Structure 1
Amino acid sequence: MTLMDFPARSFGVSTGPGVHIHGFELGPADGAPVVILHGLAGSAREFVQTALALPEFRTVLIDLRGHGRSTTRPGDLSREAFVADVVRVIESVVRAPVTLIGQSLGGHTAMLVAAARPDLVSRLVLLESGARGGSGDEHEHLGKYFRSWPLPFASRTTAQEFLGDGPLARAWVADLEERADGLWPRFEADVMVAAIKGVAAPRWDEWESIAVPTLVIYGENGIFAAEDKSEFCERGRRVQRVDLAGASHDSHLDAFHSWVAALRPFMGV
């Protein structure tokens, strides 16, 4: 599957010195706007199927800085930089308040955008996200895993054999970039570690300030402990919670139909 298989409209936005944010849109140009933010080491293409399941909406998919087709090695990987990128895209591309959806790192970013710029967010959807995410040891372990990839991969088959056949692995393989010497991921391990470290600090003040209707979705087999899920939802202001049976941290990939079934009613369709 390539982006050329869908009627996508690409765009690019400069958000600072040397930083280019790539994205694309699906759906009617006059539809109610939705912006979706992927997780760490992901890309916008992970949510193409979600966009296609929301045909009534103008869905804007963003490659976050350091990911996908956006700038690979931005100088600033702070939470504030990620937030500023999303604000810039909404203001310059969408130009209207949006339903903002984010998964994992993208969910944390979406939460901070909604807190910083409530005028730009009419509804919020957080998939497998919380006020903070992971410890330093967990982040370093993640970096060690990414650095273990035998790059470049000679072929997609070789990549699949190494990465496995799970939904997330298939998404990584599908998004590999073809270069003269082989296939490379559209992210770099050290950039991912630096990006995720910013999520370690709790952001309860921002979360508790958000007043828009919010849907919080967890996978039954996701990364959050039961007590962390409960605390997060209880400390929110207008929160609806949905748990997806049998789903993982990447519920949009491995529990797609359940994910969409939870999403569409919240969005009024």
Structure 2
Amino acid sequence: MCKQRVKRYTPTYINSFVYLVHGDGVHDDICKPTKRIKTYIEGFDEYIDGGIPQGYVVLVAGTSGTMKSSITYNILYNNALDKGLKGVYVSLEQNIASLLDHMHGLGMNSELVKGKVEIWDLGSIRTDQFVGELWLNVFKRDVMAYKEKHGLDMLVLDSLPALELVAGFKNPRIDYFYFFEWLRELDITCFLIAEMSNDPLSAYGKHDEDFLSDGIIHVKMEKIGDVNIQRRIRCVKMRATNHSPNYYTLLFSDSKFQVTKVISDTIDF
């Protein structure tokens, strides 16, 4: 068992693996989680200590067009294909047919992961009788029932703004706190898509979701020269992980994601 000495002065909940309860100046032992979920972004996993610690709740944040949905589905798809892990992708914005069509266009054939990766859309969960807080309770019940019956390793929720609207959050900061706690109790790896504005000072989460999460992956569009745009990705935070804080150029070709080091911000191609 690994041990790491950390000093804290206030009671702190760090993540689903760590509880600190202590007095003034007391040092506590922390055991780092060792099992990790690969992102299957070639080159990126090496910069995040081999992957995302199993059981974490991770924000994938960015503006429109940064391939957040594709990145998270890619994680579910390739972990199912390579490791046999089971995942559910919850789409509160796109319907199932539209999302599958998009992923097929990227070379991800849903037939190859049938029984391992499922997509739920809004129509799969909500009926006329279930709205607001009641809808959220039904959603939680469905996820827990699915996990108990079929097993579940990973969950993607697309997206947090849509959840806030559909679930009728009245006090988002408090509602998100309890929602994140419920996610951790599931003991699965969760990816929550967060929409950001084009404002460079925009926060990763509108209601402290960035503080509640165990990790944050940020994807952005970067202007290169006068006419070219690059997608870039970085790990903003990942608890219990020795990760690079740098941005990397995000590429997609031959049905796979990969990163390269950023060479220049001024070259015209």
Asked if Structure 1 and Structure 2 have the same fold, meaning a TM-score greater than 0.5 normalized by the shorter chain, the answer is: no
Higher helix share: 1
Larger Rg: 2
Normalising by structure 1, what TM-score?
A: 0.37
Higher relative contact order (CA 8 A, sep 6+): 2
